[in-house]
Structures are given as structure tokens and as C-alpha cells.
Structure 1
């Protein structure tokens, strides 16, 4: 009898489904054409846009917004670069007016060096934005208590980091990230920040995470579009492996070849 995996395995956030479990950032690409090619290669479920960065770079006149419209991928504005609650909330409202969407990736940064999120500020900002009708995807660490507080504030999904933004280190605290997944089994969790190569993405997907958000790992690759496609394949492979049910890890070797019919002098290792 053949067992098949579920055919409808779409990422669902706030009751909406997305065709891909890859979310792709739009900053630091060598050119708009490189960004466009990367979107085509990754076929992401959403693309993130840092409102402050794009306005500062003249996105209204350099063709960036026209490019986003041509691709037709759902937009996820973010509050990157915000260091206070009021700043993040104001930026979110500006993004809603400009992009005509209630989706927001919330970032309230608490440390310049690690770009670690501000725990207290993120929770307060999330609470205010949820009350204002936003669908908030909060950037956070693997801290379980912080995650629970964000859920209490009304968030329906979390975006924990794998490592500090832009480092490419992969998951620096596997235990903490896996505990977060195990303790919040019904909450959509998207690993955001710190992934560097497709194997990092495949790994977290094998652990049961619901998606990954990528930016620097793609935009700073030698060939961004090729890396975008590689990440998409890594995410697909990791998700398929999770659904397939990986074997249990063992400490000792277990022969895959049966000893029935083997000469007796080989069955005990030749002793």
C-alpha cells in the first residue's frame, strides 16, 4: 500500500493561505533586476519591505514599487530600524496607508550590536497594533516566555530568529528553538534572521517550523537568484521530510542488512 503526503499543505497565517513557505526580503540586492530574478526563482509566499529604507532610497522614483506590482506577490511591510514603541507603531500605520495592507512584520530593536528585539517594547507595540486591526508578525528570539507574551498580546504567529540578523550563522541555539516549537505546537512559527545556506533552512523545516524569512543570505550571495532557488528547494525538502516522519535518532549502530543466511562466523563481527 502506498502512503502519500497531504497535497494541500499551504502556509496559513491569520486565516489566509500562501503558496510558499518562503518569505523573501527586498533589501541590499545588487540591482532591481537581481531582486526581480530572485523573486522569480524563489516564488515566495510574501515579500517584505522596509518602509523607511525604501523611502530613503527613493523607491517612489527608482521603479521599486512598480516592480513589486508586476510580481503581484503579497507584501509584508516591516518596521525595520525602529528602536521605540511609538516609532514602530507610527511606521506601521504609514505602511498601511502606502501599501494598503493590514500585514506588518513588527521589529522593535533593543540593541545596536546584536539587533536583538526589545522584549518589553515588542509586546507593547504588538498589543497596540493588534488593537488597531493589524495582522502582526513579530520578530523575536527563541525565548519561550517572550513568545507567549506576544501571543497573549494578540499575535497569531511568531518570527523567532535563528541567529542575529545578517550573520548567516544558522541556528545558534538549537535547543531553545526546538523547545519553542515543541511547547507551541499549534502556533505558526517562521524562522527569521541568521540563516546563511539552504541546509539551515532545511534543518528548521525538518524540526516542524512553518517557514523561513530570508534576505541577506540571498541578496549578498554571488548569484542571488540561484541562491533564492536553492533556498526554496531546501525549504521544500525540509517540509517534505518533516511530513514523512524522520526516523528516531539512535546512539548505537543498527544494521540495515539482516543476519539471516549470513555465515555464522560473520554474525558476531568475525570473532
Structure 2
């Protein structure tokens, strides 16, 4: 039963699906006015707004603000296995009646703003909020897998000891502040610009100075490229065809009187 509740709280997502995100966990021994449906991928502003709305009623007298820097959702839950047993056991406890969590939060979450907001919200209702700030050890980078798991286990033990000392109603909020994960930023290589120069120079590597190129003209430059050579051949072929056509037209021989109209008596008889 405990395992199923903890798995539902931290919804199953692919490990490190969003490298620049971190989980947000909020649970309380009192009933919370939590949204019925919400996405497991939200921005930090959306999560803070939802958390403030939940905490505006000042549900308990004790509030535990846990900061776990550089944590990811996969650090808490890997499939059906919970890596932070103390946290998962506390969430699945029968005493906990309200739960709200987001597996992937994009952006930094400020624990100080929530701590100040809780005090102000409870003061507005005539209550005194007892806030407990817990700063856990910064988790190493993902490349240091073994060391990261050791630090995470030590932090979970520290969190479990602190939870055992709590008596009565309490509300716990765990965030990652700051989160060192960063989104992928593509790097583009700038194109190389080559300027044309009127004069050709070659550099002497041993002397390091410039000397004027005195090579012959047809040695320095290439005048007949393959494209120009093919174009010249095509031009010769088309000019040959044009010359044949002109010669054919010029060879036509027609007498000057072939198109003259007959006006004599013989032409009148033909018309009758």
C-alpha cells in the first residue's frame, strides 16, 4: 500500500527525460485543497502559484521546508523502487491526508518565498507558523553516480531523523534550489569568410615575410574551367546548326517573274 501511494505521488516518467527540471513534493497531515487534475510537467511559476493557493489556508502549525539542491525526479524514484525510503514512507503514512507533487518542474524554485508566504498567510488568520528549514547536502553531478547515490542516501537518513522528531500536525515541502541542470544549448560554428585579393602572395614560412608572386599569367590563373570548356563546345555545335540553316535558305532559286500577275488576253480567257 505504501509503495503504491508513493508511486502515484511521483508519477512514472523516463529517467532524466528533462535534464533542466526538478521535482516538487508537498504533503501534510491535514487535508489540503489540492487540484483534482494537474500536469506532471509545469513551470516553476505554475507550481509556486499552486503551492501558495494550497498553503493559503494555513493547514498546520509546523512547516518543514526541505531544500535538496541538484535533485532530479529519478533520484527519488526509479521505476517501482524508491531511492529515498524515509521520504516515501512519510508520504505513504496513514497520518498524511493531503498530497501534491509535480515530477518535472522547469525553472528554479525559491524556498524563501514559500517560507515567507506561509508566515504571512498564517498571520493573516491569527495563527503562528513554526517553520523549520532543512538544507540537505548538494548532490554531485550525474557523472559521479556512486558518490551521488551515497550522498542521496545520507540526506535521506538525515531527513528521516528529522521527521521522527515531529509531533502533531505538520506540512512538508521539498524543492530543489538551485538546480544545476541546464537545457541543451546548441553551438554553431561561424562560417569562414574568405576575401578575394587582387594580388596573389605566398608566404615564406622560414622568413615570415611576403613576396610578390612573379609567376606567368597562365600559371597563376586558370582560364578554362570544365564549365567554360563545355559551354564553348555547345556554342560551336549551335553555331554550326545555325550556319547550315542559313545556307539552306540561301540556296533557294526562284525566278523574278514567278510571282508576277498576268494581265493580258490569255489571263482573261482563263478567268472566263
Normalization by structure 2: what TM-score? 0.22
Relative contact order (alpha carbons < 8 A, sep ≥ 6): 1 or 2 greater? 2
Normalization by structure 1: what TM-score? 0.22
Q: Which structure has the larger Rg?
A: 2
